[in-house]
Amino acid sequence: MEKQRLIYHIDVNSAFLNWENKRRHEIDPDAPDLLAIPAAVGGDSAKRRGIILAKSPVARAMGVTTGEPIAAALRKCPTLTLFPPDFKVYTANSAALMELLSSYSPALQQFSIDEAFLDMTKTIHLFGKPIATAQELRKRIKRELGFTVNIGISTNKLLAKMASDFRKPNLCHTLFPEEIPQKMWPLPVGELFLVGRSAKARLSLLGIRTIGELAHIDKALLCSHLGSKYGTTIHNYANGIDDSPVETEEPENKGIGNSTTLAQDITEFDAACQILLLLSESVGARLRRAGHKCSCLTVECRDNDFRNFSHQMTLNAPTNTTSQLYDNATHLLKELWNGAPLRLLGLRATKLDEPAYTQLSLFEDPGSKKLEKLDSAVDAIRDRFGAGAIKRASILSADMPAEKKTKKKPAP
DNA sequence: TGTTGAATCCCAC
DNA sequence: CTAACGGTGGGATTCAACA
């Protein structure tokens, strides 16, 4: 008989917005609480990165969803206040959170930039009762780190994660096995971890709309429609079954990639190659910093109809140099591209070898010079291809609220 | 018969 | 009002080539 575990799932409420909120309150303690008003973090529409990355619970209540175009969000919620993303801020806050969490248990698994699992089984006795301890942790994060979290409490990761998704923000919830019928089974099946758009549609054909209905369907029937591996997984999940351990070791990277939506569609091969050069530089730099070489390279394209194409090749010899990445990438693009206007270009390096033991950073700073070079190259491309977009952006900015980025552009 | 590679799809955040 | 739609990464599936 296995011992019952105690698992917490910690989830930063509307993480990017919450961290933006913290930043603003450090500057002005009287600033409004961004989680209490219609607010969101989103990309730059002028650069065609205009989607919602995080939204306040208030915005959510007005129908705003993560991933939707900003324009659509504004139609639902005209008073929505938008903020640009700042990943340096997010990384720093994430690190501070993980540091604090690690003082509660060594069994800590960072699941994403804003989520973590804590296995409290062996350490809860140092703190107190499970629910009271989670409440104290929640308050401590708010007091010491300046942002709010939800904490889900249960006996495995799946149930803890489902629990942390209950009412937000700044709350702790339990979802112990005996609470499953009341708290989890009535939920729409799409809210179950790993049930996305496609699975939801196929389950709908089987008449399954809630997690409870999924929990009770014959497993063999389910597997015959969704495959035995996936079918078994979500059937177990719907019944609250998950034996996976909290993984302390961080998994080794399987690949390193970089992709970018272009401010303007590209139609010229040479222009596409210049983007590939930038991507090669950044992927190469990350490979070198990690001490990896790759044996497989993939070029990914998205055309202006949002169709995706990719081409990959196994390399003759493992590499991490910009020039070899670039040479192979251009070759792949030549085979792949039919000339349709490109909205996105991406480059991904996979089949990574074992990291070399010599770390570049001991001998040189791999960052500064190359990043400077990359930055200047990015600027050059932007100047070269962004002219139309910049003109459009400046027109747009005329009837937009303040704090628009001012772009300086040398005379053509 | 089984593995590997390539292209696509799916999912989470 | 299904578009004004990101970037990163892991995994599954399908098919062809190959052993």
Question: Side chain identity at A158, as an amino acid letter?
Answer: L
* CATH code of the domain in which A292 resides: 3.30.1490.100
Asked if the Cβ of residue A78 lies within 7 A of any atom of strand C, the reply is: no
Q: Is A315 helix (H, G, I), strand (E, B) or coil?
A: strand
Is A351 found in the same domain as A277?
yes
Closest residue (CA) to C1' of nucleotide C4 is A71
One domain for residues A212 and A323: no
Which nucleotide's C1' is closest to A253 (Cα)? C9
d(CA A118, CA A258): 31
With respect to residue A219, please indicate whether it lies within any of the assigned structural domains.
yes
Rounded Cα distance between A342 and A51, Å, is 19
The pLDDT tens digits for A307-335 are 999 999 999 899 999 999 999 999 999 99
Residue A243 belongs to a domain? no
- Beta strands A172-174 and A115-119 are unpaired
Per-residue model confidence as pLDDT tens digits over A173-210: 999 999 999 999 999 999 999 999 999 999 999 999 99
Is there contact between A251 and strand C, defined as CB under 7 Å from any strand atom? yes
Last residue of a domain, one of A87, A117, A139: A87
Active site residue A191: no
Judge whether residue A358 has pLDDT over 90: no
Residues A208 and A342 reside in one and the same domain: no
Q: Is residue A245 part of a domain?
A: no
Q: CA A320 to CA A332: how far, in whole Å?
A: 17
Confidence of residue A86 (pLDDT cuts 50, 70, 90): very high
In a domain, A229, yes or no: yes
**Number of domains chain A contains:** 3
Per residue in A333-357, pLDDT (tens digit) is 999 998 999 999 999 999 998 776 5
Identify the active-site residue in A20, A68, A99, A115: A115
**Residue A388's domain spans which residues?**
255-404
Which tokens sit at A364? Answer: 């040189």
Label residue A98 exposed, middle or buried (CB < 10 Å: 0-12, 13-18, 19+).
middle
pLDDT higher than threshold 70 for residue A7? yes
Considering only residues A381 and A250, tell me which one the structure prediction assigns the higher pLDDT: A250
Kindly state whether residues A320 and A397 are assigned to the same domain. yes
Same domain, A193 and A317: no
Provide the positions of strand B that have an atom within 7 A of a protein CB.
5-13
